[in-house]
Structures are given as C-alpha cells and as structure tokens.
Amino acid sequence: MTLLQATDLTRSFRLPGPLFGRPRLLHAVAGVSLSIAAGEALGLVGESGSGKTTLGRLLVGLLPPSSGSITFNGAPLTGPHRLIQMVFQDSAAALNPRRPVGQSVMLPLRWNRRLAAAAADTEARALFARVGLAPENFFARLPNALSGGQRQRVGIARALASSPSLLIADEPVSALDVSVRAQILRLFAELAAEHALASLFITHDLGVVRAVTQRVAVLYRGRVVELGPTAQVMDTPRHPYTQALRAATPIPDPERPRLAPPRPPEAQDLPGCPFRARCPVAVERCAIAPALREIVPGHWAACHLAQPSDGAEGAISPGSRPR
Amino acid sequence: MTALLEIDCLTVALGDGTALVEDVSLALAPGETLGLVGESGSGKSMTAHAILGLFPAPHIHIAAGQVRVDGVDLASLAPEARRAIRGRRVGMIFQDPSSYLDPLLTAGRHIAEAMRVHGVSDRMPERVANLLERVDLPASAAARFPHELSGGQRQRVLIAAALAMEPSVLVADEPTTALDVTVQAGILDLLRRAAAERGLGVLLITHDLGVVAETCDRVAVMYAGRIVEQSDARSLFRAPRHPYTQGLLASVLDPSRDTVPFAMEGSVPPAHAMPKGCRFHPRCPLAAGPCFTVLPPFIDGVACWHADEAALGAWRRR
Amino acid sequence: MRRAPPLPLVGVLLLIALALGASWVSPGDPLAGSADALLPPGSAGHLLGTDDLGRDMLAMLIHGSRVSLAVGLASSGVSLLLGVLAGATAGWLGGWADAVVMRISEFFQTLPRFVLALIVIAIAGPGIGKVILVIAVLGWPQTARVVRAEISALRGAAFVDAARLGGMPAPLIVLREVLPQIAAPVLVLAALDVATAILLEAGLGFFGLGDPNLASWGAMLNEAQQYLRSAWWMSVFPGLAIGITVLLFNALGDRAAAALDPRGA
C-alpha cells in the first residue's frame, strides 16, 4: 500500500543575481516522482548539491514545493503532519540548547499527541529507555552534556513520540563515529520493525543504504537518475553516475583493484542529461534529457544507454577498469 | 634506508598533565603511505599537530618523546629553524581547505606565497604552473579566487602549496572527509601518485578504514590516545589482531555486501577519565585478568593481553 | 568558576534601593527651600551643600535618582517590548512584512533623537509619562533590528523545524523556543538603552523641559548654569550622578553580554 506519493516535485530557490535583470534560479529539486510503501525503508542517495536535503524537507512538509504534489495516506500534504517525523543530521542543532533533552521529547507528546503533562512525562521517560538512554541519568541534561550518539538517540525518541508512520532521516549517522554509527543504525532497524514504520534514509553513504534499505533512489542534480531494489542497484548499477559513485566508494579491502577516479564535476552543465559533462560514455543522443525508464522489472534508470543485460555497456561498472 | 619521519614514545598532554596522546611511536619511509586511524578522541589529529609543533590550544604540549624529521630532533631546534622545517621538509593539508585559503588571494598567489616564505622568488609563474599541473588543475586555475573553486579544487590548491618546496613528508589530516566520494577518489589518487612518483612519505590521518584500504601501505590504529595495532595494510585488513581493530572493521558498512551493522557497544573514554589497565577493556569481549589493571605492552605490532585468543576473532561469540 | 558578584550589578541594585527608599534615606524634603542658600559642601546639616534656593543638594540628588531611574527603566522597557514585537514579526514572517517593519525602523533611526524629543516635549508640555513615551518610541528600532537579525537566522534552525513537526503553533515556537535564545543580546541592548534614556532625560531637564514638580538631575544642572563659577557643587554633583549611573548601566550591559555568551566558560 502506498503511504506517500510524490509526483513531479520541483523546488527552486532564487539566487542572488545581478543588480539588474532577472534573478537566477537554482532548481534544487527538478521533477522528482517517488513513492514510499507502508513499512518500507527507501534510501535516497546523493552527493552535495544533489538536492537530497531539499527533497527531504519537501516530503516532511517543512518546505512547500514550487510545483508538483505530495499525497500522504491518500490526502494532499500541505505542511507538517503528525505521522511524518524527521531525524536530523546535526543532532546538536536539532535540540533546543537551553532545554533539558527530556522536555524536547515531551514537546510532540504535549502538542501532537495532546497528552497532559504527567502522561507526557511518563511516556517520554519510556521512550528514553527504549532508545537506550536511562531516563534517570539523561532526562534532565542539556544537549551539550550528551555525546553525539546520545543526542541522536534523543532525536529518535522525539521522532517516535509523535507515533509516526513515516520517518525521514537526513544523514542521521554521518556525523557519528564508526562504532557509534552501527549502534544507531541497529536501533533504527529495530524500531522500524517494532512500529511498522516506513522510513526514508537520506545519505551520501552507499554502505548505510545497503545496510538499512530495501529500495534506493539515486539523486543527481535534483533528479532521480536510478531507482530500484538496493542490492540490485549496488551490484549492477545501470546509470553511469551510480556506477561512478559505486566505483569511487572506498571499500575496506586493500586487495581490491584500484579504479580510475571519476571525472570531477564541471562548473557548467551541458543541456540534456544532467550527468553528460562528466559521463565517460556520453553520446550525441544525451543532448536530449533521458527520462526514467524501467530497464528490468522494478529497476529504473534515466540513461539512454542503459540495457537490460547486466550493467551498462562500456561504462565504469565496479571492478571493470583496474589501473 | 633511514626513515623520513620518526616519532618516538611521543606523549602529548594538557597543562594539568592529562595525556591526550601517550607513548606513540611511528616511522615513515620514503614513498610510503602510513595510515593513522581512529575515532574521535583517539588522539590521531593531536599526533599530527605534534609533528608540526602546532597545537590548537596554548596549554597543550609535548610532555615526552621525540619527533625526528630526516634524523633531526625537532625539539633540539630553535623556533626559527623549526618553522623552516614546516613547509620545507614537512607539508601539511587539512580537512577543511577553505579555512587555510585567504579569500582575497588567488590560487596562484597562495601557492607562490608558500614558496616565497622559504626564500624562493624566481621563475614564479612557471613554478606555479608546474605545481598546478602536478595536482591536475588547469593553468587557468592560478587566477581563480577560493570562492570560484570547488571543494576538491581547493584541496588540490593546498596540496600544490604543500608540495611546492618538495618536502619529504606530507601530513594529511582527514584531507577528504569534507568531500564527496567522487571527488575524494581523485584526491586519494593524487596522494598515491605523489608517494609513488616522488618518494614522498605520506602520513594519512583518517577515521575511514575504506580510505586507508585504498591508499595506505601500512596502518596504525589508535584508541584512546595509544596505538593498539600496527602492521602492513594487507595483513591488518585480512587478519586484524586487536579486538578494537576487529570491531572497527566489522562496523564498516560495505556497499558491496549485505551486512547487518555490527555495533561495538560503548564509546571512546574521555582523556580525563581513562579506565585503568587496557583502555579498551570496558568494551572488550575478551577482557579478563590483567586487562583490568595493567596496560598491555605493545609487542609484535599489537597491544593486547589476549592477542592469541583475539587473533581467532574476539567478537565471534556474540 | 564563578566570579564575585559583578560590581556593576551591585551598583545598579544599590541605586535602585536608593531610589525606592529615597524618603527614608534622604536627609530632608528635596523641594523645601530655606534661608541657607548656596552653602558649600560640608556645611553643618548639609553634607553636599545647598542650592540657590537653600534646598539640600543631597536630598535633591537622592530624590532625583527616582526620576532618572524611572525614566530610564520604563522607557527602555517599553522600547524593548516594541522592539521585540516588531523585530520578531519581521524576522519570523520575512517577505513584505519584514520590508515594511524595517523601512519604518530605518525612518525612526534617521530622526535626530534628542532634537525630536525636545520638540515633542516643547509642544506637548512637560510630564514624566510623556518623556518616557517619547524616549521609548525613538529607541525601539535598534532592538528591533537586532531581534529581527537573530530570529531570521534561527527561523531555519533544526530545533525550530523539530518544534514545527512536533505540532507546536508558530507563535508559541517564537515565544518559547526562539526568543529565549536571543535573551542575551536583547538584555544587553536594554541595559545600554537605560543609559541612553537617562542621558536624554537629563538633557531635557537641562533645557527646562523636565517635570517641574519633581527633582531631577537634569533640572538641577539647568539651575546650576548661572552659578557655574560661584557654586561649583551645584553642577558637579548632579553631573557626577548622571555620569556614574550611565557608566554603571553600560558596564552592566557589557558584563551581561560576557556572562550570557554561551561560548564563555
């Protein structure tokens, strides 16, 4: 059952332009359609400038789209919704620095859930215990007295406090140390199963995506360039950008053949396919922007050259071009 | 062959004597890339600061040990001579290139300044052009200001400036942490080439084991201010011997395999509250006997009382 | 480490206590004249001397602190309220609301404050309430601009987003989540505002536009003009009182800024 459906979402920002004349527009999200099924974990992968954070803010209702629509549970989404909650990247910035963290978790209980003070307090303490923080030790502390991992646990408790059905997590572990990262990811997985939560995991880290999501959308310059089952997209990426991303991601294996680094991004895009300027296999046809099409059942890519046979022809599929 | 850089029993402490780095010994050979890996609070960056004698706060100091560059003990030098070694013998690059670039200087001027402070002033445009070429930037980049360059390009400019005086050692402190992976791959490739082609010794400080695997010949793993394991990269990744190294490796999320994230419980202890005995014992599945009371000595590349047992896989029983 | 109670705070509290307890502390009625005119300081029964009408200088100074503090605190309070309201509206809403509020505040900032206060009081007639109001209306834009800058920066903060997702209504988010964050710069400004207002009030009094029924430091200076050479104490003591009070509030503002700075230890 589709929980959330985004159709042709666009969001532009006005850039400081010249003193006279038309202001320049930045299309942070340019025509994205996505759906999230109930209970599903969808990954949203992209590098800086891909628009992944903007897309996350659109889907959680914090930012209105320039055009396009979002429906949630069959009804149009017009702003923040109790059932869609968010876990933020910077756990310190996401907590009011002057408020004990227990109060930050009580806030949605008081407002979204309309609980009385005493009931909210009891419930918030139970949530602390559930995310692995002893309430008697942590409830009254200020955010800066907690470690990054502990603050992120508070952030998760706060998101759960609204009893959401969809959790949007924007780079929830990228600021954390490797060993703490794993603890938080396990907590996410446990909670999602316990509460039948759907989740959207926004990240730049392919390892995180593989570990916690079933489906993944790869974002490049505000567009979805590839979409499909996570293992399939990681193992046989169809879009040259996903292939470059996959090849560039360091793997803890010194014996893996070292690959040629992908071309760096260009300052100016060429018309047509957004990846054209960096693409190692671009052809004349790429001057016309390719639409997302289903290459094999359930696996979509926005590339003219993508073929149903394993991997795109001649492109840098992982391991195919040792130096 | 003598080592380019030798660190001998280095201890870095706060004003009140709290040790941030304790008893660290490292050596770097020509053409070698040594990875110094650890989580935050491990003391890896503080070790890098000690090499250059530059500390982020005035009361942090070298309490014991030696840092030798080309066989010369830095502590024996006058401040003037030590400054000359920085840049001339030891180049350095950092995580955030923007904060080391003057926004009002073009990339070319920045690189030229790096040479001028060491007394080089002739054939400047030619030298700058050569350096830019070495870091795969077009000659036109010389005229660009930092805000006109991407993050990766800025890091390349800093590498060019760091290599300008042909140093024998490059200390790279999290040089790609702030960059996208597709950009990171290019920077790591550049560092590999500089080591291979010029015999540069690179000390790469990072938290990312993937980056280490891609770049380093040897690896030292730090935990809570001390080195817990050191060996060549292949053996370390194939057969890690310290329980912490094993846990760290198991925590890495590999996009090429389906894995359940492995979680080492707990976190790195703060410098002022170090546990007695082995500093890893509160998180270690093998902790028993001497682990609680006596620091394990660093023998044969590993500091663990139960190294033999650990070699079989410390976390298997969980 | 907590330092000893800051001197400026102690000074300001003492001053307030003095003003509140003026009737008990003061050696006599400040407005009661006597035949002992122009006695120098140290004269029997008149520690700081008397003025041209034989009024006790000390009594006048003590009672004058009431006017100065009342005007200073009240007008800074009113301008704080106006400034926070205008600044929060502009900063939170942005867009045209922001533009309108900021243009109005710029208009007020271009007006020469003292001259305008002088003209308004000259037309409307003297009275402490009017003085407070005029100073407050002229003083709010500075606070408004600071509040607006801080709020528009905090509007996009993640913890504000989190409060929105938590279902808290926007006005309450501003009031409970955002405004407490900017208490430091605003309180500092308020302390400085008090000092400015005291100076303005003294200036009005000096030009004879103070409340004639109240002893005020400005009015004392006004009368002292004719006796600058013959009775130095008539000008020096009120001058010192104004100077010290203004300095105390300025110092209090500075200390508050340092103490409330979250980056400080």
* Chain C interface mutation, best of A83, A98, A107, highest count of C Cβ atoms under 10 Å: A107
Whether residues A108 and C165 touch (CB distance < 8 A) is answered with yes
Chains B and A touch (3+ CB pairs under 8 A): yes
Report the pLDDT value the prediction gives residue C225, as an integer from 0 to 100: 84
Question: Between C167, C180, C181, which is nearest A108 by CB?
Answer: C167
Q: In chain B, what percentage of residues exceed pLDDT 90? A: 64
A touches C (3+ CB pairs < 8 Å)?
A: yes
Across the interface, of A147, A178, A209, the residue whose CB is closest to B252 is: A178
Interchain pair B181, A264: CB under 8 A: no
- The edge-to-edge listing of strands for the beta sheet with A198-203 is A84-87, A166-170, A198-203, A41-45, A215-220, A223-229, A299-301, A293-296
Q: Is A254 on the interface with B (CB under 8 A)?
A: yes
Residues 6+ apart with CB under 8 A from B150: A264, A265, A267, B183
Among B150, B207, B256, beta carbon nearest to A234: B256
Question: pLDDT per residue over B141-188, tens digit each?
Answer: 999 999 999 899 999 999 999 999 999 999 999 999 989 998 999 999
Count how many pairs of residues, chain A against chain C, have C-beta atoms within 8 Å. 58
The answer to whether the CB of C71 falls within 8 A of the CB of C201 is: yes
Chains meeting C at 3+ CB pairs closer than 8 A?
A: A
pLDDT digits (tens, 9 = 90+) for A87-134: 999 999 999 999 999 999 999 999 999 999 999 999 999 999 999 999
Burial A165-201 (b: 16+ CB within 10 A, else e): bbbbbbbbbebbbbbbbbbbbbbbbebbeeeebbbbb
Q: Say whether residue A210 is in contact with chain B using an 8 A CB cutoff.
A: yes
The structure tokens listed for C123 are 């037309």
Q: Is C265 on the interface with A (CB under 8 A)?
A: no
pLDDT reading at A147 higher than 50: yes
Give A246→chain B minimum CA distance, Å: 8
Write down the pLDDT at residue A318: 44
**What mean pLDDT is predicted for residues A245-263?**
86
What does the block give as tokens for A276?
Answer: 């054209």
pLDDT tens-digit map of A29-65: 999 999 999 999 999 999 988 999 999 999 999 999 9
CA C82 vs CA B285, C50, C85, C86, C106: distances in Å: 63, 41, 5, 6, 15
Sheet containing B61-69: give its strands across.
B19-28, B5-13, B61-69, B72-73
> CA–CA separation, C79 vs C77, rounded Å?
6
C162 contact A CB<8A: yes
C167 contacts chain A (CB < 8 A): yes
- Interface mutation vs chain A, best among B231, B254, B262, most A CBs within 10 Å: B254
Segment B263-281 shows an average pLDDT of 89
C-alpha dist (Å) from residue B34 to B4, B23, B27: 12, 18, 9
Q: Mean pLDDT for chain A?
A: 90
CB contact under 8 A, C162 and A158: yes
Give the mean pLDDT of B82-103.
Answer: 87
Question: Span B197-220, mean pLDDT?
Answer: 94
Chains touching A (at least 3 CB pairs under 8 A) are: B, C
**Residue C2, pLDDT above cutoff 70:** no
**Chain C residues close to A60, C-beta within 8 Å:** 165
pLDDT in tens, C100-144: 999 999 998 888 888 888 888 889 888 888 888 888 888 899 899
Closest of A34, A44, A43, A36 to residue A2, by C-alpha: A36
Which chain A residues have a beta carbon less than 8 Å from that of B259?
Answer: 210-211
The token pair at A99 is: 């408020």
Q: How does residue A315 score in pLDDT terms, banded at 50, 70 and 90?
A: very low
**Cβ–Cβ < 8 Å for C155, C161:** no
Of all residues in chain A, the one with the smallest CA distance to B247 is: A179
The answer to whether the Cβ–Cβ distance between C167 and A162 falls below 8 Å is yes
The mean-pLDDT minimum among A76-80, A271-275, B233-237, C159-163 falls in A271-275
Q: How far apart are CA A45 and CA B31, in angstroms?
A: 36
Q: Do A104 and C165 touch (CB under 8 A)?
A: no
Cα nearest neighbour of B266 on chain A = A180
| Rounded CA separation B223/B207 (Å) | 11
Residues of B in contact with A231 (CB under 8 A): 258
Asked whether the beta carbons of residue A107 and residue C166 sit closer than 8 angstroms, the reply is yes
Contact C166 A161 (CB under 8 A): yes
Interface predicted TM-score of the whole assembly (ipTM), two decimals: 0.88
The reported pLDDT for the residue numbered C86 is 94
